Amino acid sequence: MTVISFHDRVAIVTGAGGGLGRTYALDLAARGAQVVVNDLGGAKDGTGGDASAARRVVEEIEAEGGSAVASHDSVSTPEGGQAIVDAALHAFGRVDIVINNAGILRDRTLAKLEPQDLEAVLAVHLKGAFYVSRPAFRVMRENGYGRFVFTSSNAGVFGNFGQSNYGAAKMGLVGLSNVLALEGAKANIKSNVICPMARTRMTEELLGPLASSLDPECVTPMVVYLASEACEYTHEVFSAGGNRYARMFIGLAPGWFAGKGSPVTAEDIAAHIDQIRDQKGYVVPGSALDEIAGLVAQLRG
């Protein structure tokens, strides 16, 4: 069995002062990584801040003989993202791994959602991941090595009542990871997405009886694997929770090809809608170009 070690690797884990992020930071450090434990230390809705959240996790790591530094910058500004990456460079001289995990909730149905609830959620999840990843990507490209894990959610991939802001941000992260995976490929930078299910302060009121089966530690091994050199996959999305691990994907079905150059009508679509919707024989394109290549082949006959 492959032994997963992070000796000489430097990892940034955002939102690692509690919940899932803390478990990632602890496991990475136990396996030899030098870790930047980032956390703003605010409330579940993103208000407030407390530097002690990140510091406590650093103390836990150090008590076990590991190596870590605390950062309580917010991911949600370009300056904050840069400062988090700089913390890794100053303390450890490089960045090999970024786990974009920081998150907040402002759940409301779309009819009741205020623009500030959208802005706050996009700022932490989507823009925050961008602001941390961009400076880290530049360093990794120079080093010819990198691993990114972005944190999405089934609330985005499949949808969840009352989470339009969160769902939009979380699906945006899938797009960000997919593009980063393509742009990083030549430099041995891999980027994947995790959709966790776990009992944390974010979910404890939502899970009911399921809560006892959803230890955050059940998500940790999948994320740690994706962050490791052993992971050769990129551009993928995984569900992890309650000890079940599964790939999630957006597939492209064969659909209906109406033939080259023959304009079709809405009525033609209605007539072929069963074939258009049929999922049998789907593929999972590796990029937008992959999808286009399939169409070009059909157009050329």
Ligand X SMILES: NC(=O)c1ccc[n+]([C@@H]2O[C@H](COP(=O)([O-])OP(=O)(O)OC[C@H]3O[C@@H](n4cnc5c(N)ncnc54)[C@H](O)[C@@H]3O)[C@@H](O)[C@H]2O)c1
Q: Which of 26, 29, 41, 238 binds ligand X (CB under 6 A)?
A: 41
Report if residue 37 touches ligand X, rule: CB under 6 A.
Answer: no
Q: Where are the beta strands (DSSP E) in the chain?
A: 10-13, 34-38, 67-71, 97-100, 146-151, 189-197, 236-241, 244-248
Q: Which is nearer to ligand X, 172 or 196 (CB)?
A: 196
Annotate each residue in 132-151 with x if it binds ligand X (CB under 6 A) or - if it does not, as one string.
-------------------x
Q: Which is nearer to ligand X, 131 or 145 (CB)?
A: 131
Taking CB under 6 A as the binding criterion, the range among 25-33, 40-48, 174-182, 255-263 that sits at the site for ligand X is 40-48
Secondary structure of the chain in HEC code, one letter for each residue: CCCCCCCCCEEEECCCCCHHHHHHHHHHHHCCCEEEEECCCCCCCCCCCCCHHHHHHHHHHHHCCCEEEEECCCCCCHHHHHHHHHHHHHHHCCCCEEEECCCCCCCECHHHCCHHHHHHHHHHHHHHHHHHHHHHHHHHHHHCCEEEEEECCHHHHHHCCCEHHHHHHHHHHHHHHHHHHHHHHHHCEEEEEEEEECCCCCCCCCCHHHHHHCCHHHCHHHHHHHCCCCCCCCCEEEEEECCEEEEECCCECCCCCCCCCCCCCHHHHHHHHHHHHCCCCCECCCCHHHHHHHHHHHHCC
Q: Which of 6, 12, 14, 191 binds ligand X (CB under 6 A)?
A: 14
Taking CB under 6 A as the binding criterion, the range among 34-42, 57-65, 232-240, 244-252 that sits at the site for ligand X is 34-42
Report if residue 19 touches ligand X, rule: CB under 6 A.
Answer: yes
Report if residue 76 touches ligand X, rule: CB under 6 A.
Answer: yes
Taking CB under 6 A as the binding criterion, the range among 15-23, 86-94, 220-228, 290-298 that sits at the site for ligand X is 15-23
- For the beta carbon of residue 90, count every other beta carbon within 10 angstroms: 11
Q: Which is nearer to ligand X, 87 or 102 (CB)?
A: 102
Q: Which is nearer to ligand X, 42 or 146 (CB)?
A: 42
Q: Which of 24, 131, 166, 225 is catalytic?
A: 166
CB of residue 282 to ligand X, shortest distance in Å: 25
Q: Which is nearer to ligand X, 51 or 252 (CB)?
A: 51
Report if residue 172 touches ligand X, rule: CB under 6 A.
Answer: no
- In the annotation, is 166 catalytic? yes
User: According to CB under 6 A, which residues from 178 to 197 bind ligand X?
Assistant: 196-197
User: According to CB under 6 A, which residues from 224 to 283 bind ligand X?
Assistant: none
CA Rg value for the chain: 21
Report if residue 74 touches ligand X, rule: CB under 6 A.
Answer: yes
Q: Which is nearer to ligand X, 202 or 252 (CB)?
A: 202
CA distance 183 to 180: 5
Annotate each residue in 90-129 with x if it binds ligand X (CB under 6 A) or - if it does not, as one string.
-----------xxxx-------------------x---x-
- Say if CB 102 and CB 122 are below 8 A apart: no
Residues designated as active site = 166
Chain contacts with ligand X (rule: CB under 6 A): 14-15, 17-21, 38-42, 44, 46, 53, 74-76, 101-104, 124, 128, 151, 153, 196-198, 200-203
